Chain A
């Protein structure tokens, strides 16, 4: 059940990614519709985060290509925003909430330039949208997990992009934050923005997403949430049928064998 769309916001063609020679994503062919809230779902180690990172050019591709708005990433970078997992940074860093949100403006500012008054106002507005305006001058080390995630979202909003990739925004946040995030995503989607979210809770997936991508080393399914979240497809994603694929991967690592002939 892999449904393709016309005029996709994102197209992956034959995407293969390897870590230390070990393939973590095999031959992904995927198109995603515009204006939807899209969940990327799969078990631990399925390559969900890797897929997002490879789209953002943070890990090298072994094969295939990525098209965003039918263009290469560098030409449309200003229209794309990436929210890393909040655990990926050191929250003890000497910075205030405002400092972090302002980083969302750096892409527009470019190198060497300092944030202007307009950037600060945009940042403040974004903080307001995630209900964190009162925390603008707070040190980031004093934030709770949910507040950290809100700050990251505010930074993403400050980018004023059209396509958002969020890596596990619901991990380790309180119920109020989870609700605030999903409301925010709905508003963004109403404004025609596309939000791609790495997620691993099946229960809430049904409720949160319009479109779901099931992933486990390879693409299992992609389509409207009701067509994809079926027991057969979930079984295929989470079931142990892929041991052979995983073992071939292990073998490639162990022998340091190239996963593509021309490597």
Chain B
């Protein structure tokens, strides 16, 4: 706990820098990643992330020092080459894009690991810490490193801000963008370059292996919560920044722990939570909606049945019906039926008597309406769709529950208020 306060107070300038750096680069890669995701290029981000490793190693071998400036240039160069190669292979051979990405990713990463091993065996003292580029070490983000990576992160944010309208357009409709004379190829080139740069910012704090997650996951999580592009970008940036902050904290309390996996864990938990809990799009929300429909159908079916029992009993709608009366006519599952009856009483559509259940006036109206809709729909199907009368019942069983009052009105008018359904049952209009 003390650690946390010490950390959050940001009194230690070193902590301040690490926190600032982690937030900046996580947010900037999330912002660029939003467009990578919308252009459906998520895998390309992963390929780039892995392909920067040989560049980092090569820069170190050539210069012999761990200067972030050289390393970034090296990373940028090989990351870029990997993209050009993927593009070339896809265009000029029978190999499809997914295969090309897989090929380039593994070949480049393989070469990178090979070079890293050679460097580690070389005995050059300056190389210590180079392996942090694999899984990240946020705490090492100080001094010159911080300056370089934060500068890139700022450039990324400004570039997206300036080109927001253009990126949104080429992500949505490339052909249209081209038709109005936008330089689509150049814009795509810029976006690609930004993607490579976003990967490069994260190599020290998060590491090349997991950097793709920082590009894609915040945007994917944000997409669950909003349908507005601007909101999505800010949300992605916020979620990215939060996981960056947590990563920096963990790196501070447990220096031996690689930061990348932790940051990715945090953002993944956020994404999975969104997947389940988000309104409208989340799994839980959809399950609840489904349940609501089931309940609605059950209750309406009970009321419909009460109405039909009344019809058969010489229009004595307000007599008591026992559970037996109900199940004899329609085999409900008993537990469900009991639950439905109780709910309907709570809502004021039924009342309980000593021997069973009885309609209220509101309950009768509702049961009558569902029965009417059922029969009208059956008639519509036989009249307009020429479906045989013995085939229409099943359809009507579902449709009766979703017809809105507006559709109801149109249905009545189109059929001109008929009196009988195809099975010669009276259609019960409200008077």
Q: Are B227 and A94 neighbours in the complex by a CB distance under 8 Å?
A: yes
Judge whether A176 is part of the interface by a CB distance below 8 angstroms.
Answer: no
Judge whether B181 is part of the interface by a CB distance below 8 angstroms.
Answer: yes
Q: Are B179 and A93 neighbours in the complex by a CB distance under 8 Å?
A: no
Judge whether B226 is part of the interface by a CB distance below 8 angstroms.
Answer: yes
Q: Are A103 and B176 neighbours in the complex by a CB distance under 8 Å?
A: yes
Binary per-residue interface labels of chain A (29-65) against chain B in the complex, 1 for a CB within 8 Å, 0 otherwise:
0000000000000000000000001001110000000
Q: How far is the CA of A77 from the CA of B179 in the complex (A)?
A: 8
- The range of chain A's interface size is 20 to 34
Judge whether A192 is part of the interface by a CB distance below 8 angstroms.
Answer: no
Known: A94-B229, A94-B232, A103-B173. A58 touches B179 (CB 8 A): yes
Q: How far is the CA of A74 from the CA of B183 in the complex (A)?
A: 12
Judge whether B182 is part of the interface by a CB distance below 8 angstroms.
Answer: yes
Known: A88-B173, A89-B172. A56 touches B178 (CB 8 A): yes
- The interface stretch among B72-80, B161-169, B242-250, B265-273 is B161-169
Q: Are B227 and A89 neighbours in the complex by a CB distance under 8 Å?
A: no
A212 to chain B, nearest CB (A): 24
Judge whether B180 is part of the interface by a CB distance below 8 angstroms.
Answer: yes
Known: A82-B175, A88-B173. A107 touches B229 (CB 8 A): no
Contacts of B163 in A (CB 8 A): 112
Q: How far is the CA of A259 from the CA of B211 in the complex (A)?
A: 45
Judge whether B11 is part of the interface by a CB distance below 8 angstroms.
Answer: no
Interface centre among A77, A84, A111 (most CB of B within 10 A): A111
Q: Are B173 and A96 neighbours in the complex by a CB distance under 8 Å?
A: no
Judge whether A106 is part of the interface by a CB distance below 8 angstroms.
Answer: yes
Q: How far is the CA of A84 from the CA of B229 in the complex (A)?
A: 22
Q: In chain A, what residue has the closest Cβ to B176?
A: A84
Known: A57-B178, A77-B180, A77-B181. A94 touches B173 (CB 8 A): no
- Interface positions of B from 219 to 265, Cβ below 8 Å from A: 223, 226-229, 232
Judge whether A116 is part of the interface by a CB distance below 8 angstroms.
Answer: no
Judge whether A159 is part of the interface by a CB distance below 8 angstroms.
Answer: yes
Q: Are B229 and A95 neighbours in the complex by a CB distance under 8 Å?
A: yes
Indicate which residue in A103, A112, A139 contacts B162 across the interface (CB closer than 8 Å).
A112
A104 to chain B, nearest CB (A): 8
Q: How far is the CA of A94 from the CA of B227 in the complex (A)?
A: 5
Q: Are B175 and A84 neighbours in the complex by a CB distance under 8 Å?
A: yes
Q: Are B173 and A56 neighbours in the complex by a CB distance under 8 Å?
A: no
B283 to chain A, nearest CB (A): 17
Judge whether B326 is part of the interface by a CB distance below 8 angstroms.
Answer: no
- The range of chain B's interface size is 20 to 34
Q: Are B165 and A114 neighbours in the complex by a CB distance under 8 Å?
A: yes
Contacts of A206 in B (CB 8 A): none
A74 to chain B, nearest CB (A): 7
Q: In chain A, what residue has the closest Cβ to B184?
A: A58
B93 to chain A, nearest CB (A): 12
Contacts of A58 in B (CB 8 A): 175, 178-179
Contacts of B177 in A (CB 8 A): 106
Q: In chain A, what residue has the closest Cβ to B233?
A: A94
Q: Are B173 and A99 neighbours in the complex by a CB distance under 8 Å?
A: no
Indicate which residue in B173, B182, B183, B223 contacts A89 across the interface (CB closer than 8 Å).
B173
Contacts of B403 in A (CB 8 A): none
Q: Are A99 and B229 neighbours in the complex by a CB distance under 8 Å?
A: yes
Judge whether B309 is part of the interface by a CB distance below 8 angstroms.
Answer: no
Judge whether A207 is part of the interface by a CB distance below 8 angstroms.
Answer: no
A99 to chain B, nearest CB (A): 7
Contacts of A144 in B (CB 8 A): none
Contacts of A100 in B (CB 8 A): 172
Indicate which residue in B40, B168, B176, B178 contacts A95 across the interface (CB closer than 8 Å).
B168
Indicate which residue in B40, B162, B165, B228 contacts A94 across the interface (CB closer than 8 Å).
B228
B179 to chain A, nearest CB (A): 4
Indicate which residue in B169, B223, B227, B232 contacts A103 across the interface (CB closer than 8 Å).
B169
B160 to chain A, nearest CB (A): 13
Judge whether B171 is part of the interface by a CB distance below 8 angstroms.
Answer: yes
Judge whether A141 is part of the interface by a CB distance below 8 angstroms.
Answer: yes
Q: Are B228 and A96 neighbours in the complex by a CB distance under 8 Å?
A: yes
Judge whether A90 is part of the interface by a CB distance below 8 angstroms.
Answer: yes
B282 to chain A, nearest CB (A): 16
Contacts of B172 in A (CB 8 A): 89-90, 93, 95, 100, 103
Q: How far is the CA of A112 from the CA of B159 in the complex (A)?
A: 11
Judge whether B20 is part of the interface by a CB distance below 8 angstroms.
Answer: no
Q: How far is the CA of A82 from the CA of B183 in the complex (A)?
A: 16
A134 to chain B, nearest CB (A): 15
Q: In chain A, what residue has the closest Cβ to B226?
A: A94
- A residues apposed to B, CB below 8 Å: 53, 56-58, 74, 77, 80-82, 84, 88-90, 93-96, 99-100, 103, 106-107, 111-115, 139, 141, 155, 159
25 CB-based A-B contacts, threshold 8 Å: A56-B175, A56-B179, A57-B178, A58-B179, A81-B179, A84-B173, A84-B175, A84-B176, A88-B175, A94-B38, A94-B223, A94-B227, A95-B172, A95-B227, A95-B229, A99-B229, A103-B172, A103-B176, A106-B177, A107-B180, A112-B163, A112-B165, A112-B166, A114-B165, A155-B176
Closest 9 CB pairs of A and B: A107-B180, A82-B179, A139-B227, A94-B229, A77-B181, A56-B179, A89-B173, A84-B175, A93-B172
With A77-B179, A90-B172 known, 11 other A-B pairs at CB within 8 A are: A57-B178, A82-B175, A88-B175, A89-B172, A90-B40, A96-B228, A103-B169, A106-B180, A112-B165, A114-B165, A159-B180
